[in-house]
Amino acid sequence: MVTYSGQVAVQADVEHLKAAIQGKDVEGYIAALGPLNLGAGVRNEHYSIEEEYMYAVSDACREEYKTITDAGLIVQVDEPEFCTSWTFYPDWDVDDLRKYLSFCVEVINHAIAGLHEDLVRFHTCWGSGHRPHVNDIQLRYIADLLIKINARQYSIKAASVRHEHEYHVWEDVKLPEGKRLMPGVISHATDLVEHPELVAERLVRYAKLVGRENV
Amino acid sequence: MLSRERSNALRQSTDRILVSHAGNLPRPDYLNELIEGGVTLEAAAGDEYHRRLPRAVQDVVEQQVLLGVDIVNDGEFAKAGSYGGYMIDRVTGYSTPPEDSAPPPKRAGTWSATGENSLGITILDFGPLAPAVLSVLGLPRRVGCAPPIREPHGYARQWLPTPAK
């Protein structure tokens, strides 16, 4: 049976960050592992069905998230699996993936249920491994599912050469009212330091598509 | 002008784009000296690491403020570079079956309980956490089976909404 046992540890995380930002004109956030990344790759031998298992994993995760948001800090749910699940099931087609991700949206929403949406940032990506990334699922196949997650803000990789062009997805998929997009406009995947004007161009592309106040 | 929809809520700005980042930041030398040559998460669980942590978080927050970051974090120093592996110490319910049970991997790309590492521990079934776990254990890595390249041509037309323009 999966249970959360990290109360003391996450409380310490919260106290350290709160002390550090006190008196400063900034917001604080803490990253916490998402339920898919914690549980989806692990064999379930306790619960009768996989769905029950994943909801238990979500319950455990929520304890960590709630400690963070109860302290007035933003929780960043780290969930690369939302994008990388595709690579774990080579026999699936996109319909299969989308059916699975629809369930994943439910699992994630269960994990953040009851938390103040303003304090929930959802982060996903295709992994930071320095590899060809030719098997990365394209954002256009999953973006409409991503925005069904009940977070205020979506943080997504947007500057690597494999995904930079995907700002075009937001020409077709409308970011819902009140949601914000946090595109990663500085890449870890290159040793070169991007020119500030390139970074600015990346930002402006998003600002034009989803509204500058929503980036 | 910065505005807040509520106290401590995500900010919104209409005159400039706010800055944040995704997480793990470079650790100061006084933390790294406890990790170098050791095992990352194990070192990070030590008393001395925890004693130095509050100052390290204070320093990295100040550095972010100096650089103009609006939504700052703790550098993930408590996680010592393992964005997922840290959770192993914060949940119960996962166990390691006997070495000879050799269950097949749950899915492609998942570490097998046996194989080249011959460890026979199902902590390797942690999927994406497995590399972090192996890092903690100081063990060699092996890339899981790679799926073939798949490009679902034409699929988008089946479900994407018609562009508004």
Please determine, for residue B118, whether its predicted confidence score (pLDDT) is greater than 90: no
**pLDDT band of B124, cuts 50, 70, 90:** very low
Name which of A73, A88, A180 is nearest B110 (Cβ-Cβ).
A88
Contacts of A121 in chain B (CB under 8 A): 10
Yes or no, beta carbons of A2 and B72 under 8 Å apart:
no
User: Is the CB of B64 inside 8 Å of chain A's CB atoms?
Assistant: yes
The C-alpha of B79 sits at a distance from chain A's nearest C-alpha, in angstroms, of 10
pLDDT value at residue B35: 81
The C-alpha of A213 sits at a distance from chain B's nearest C-alpha, in angstroms, of 5
Per-residue pLDDT of chain A (215 residues; tens, 9 = 90+): 999 999 999 999 999 999 999 999 999 999 999 999 999 988 888 999 999 999 999 999 999 999 999 999 999 999 999 999 998 888 899 999 999 999 999 999 999 999 999 999 999 999 888 889 998 999 999 999 999 999 999 999 999 999 999 999 999 999 999 999 999 999 989 999 999 999 999 999 999 999 999 99
User: Is the CB of B78 inside 8 Å of chain A's CB atoms?
Assistant: yes
Using a 10 angstrom Cβ sphere, with 0-12 exposed, 13-18 middle and 19 or more buried, the burial of residue A203 is middle
Q: pTM (2 decimals)?
A: 0.84
Alpha helices (runs of H) in chain A, residue ranges in sequence order: 7-21, 35-39, 50-70, 81-88, 94-111, 143-146, 169-172, 196-210
Yes or no, beta carbons of A90 and B150 under 8 Å apart:
yes
Measured CA to CA, the distance from residue A133 to residue A131 in angstroms comes to: 6
Nearest residue to B69 (alpha-carbon basis) of B25, B29, B3: B25
**pLDDT band of B37, cuts 50, 70, 90:** low
Yes or no, beta carbons of A90 and B92 under 8 Å apart:
no
User: Is the CB of B7 inside 8 Å of chain A's CB atoms?
Assistant: yes
User: Is the CB of B53 inside 8 Å of chain A's CB atoms?
Assistant: yes
Contacts of B155 in chain A (CB under 8 A): 93-94, 141
Yes or no: say if A157 and A126 are a contact pair by the CB < 8 Å rule. Answer: yes
Please determine, for residue B156, whether its predicted confidence score (pLDDT) is greater than 60: no
Yes or no, beta carbons of A41 and B106 under 8 Å apart:
yes
Contacts of A144 in chain B (CB under 8 A): 161
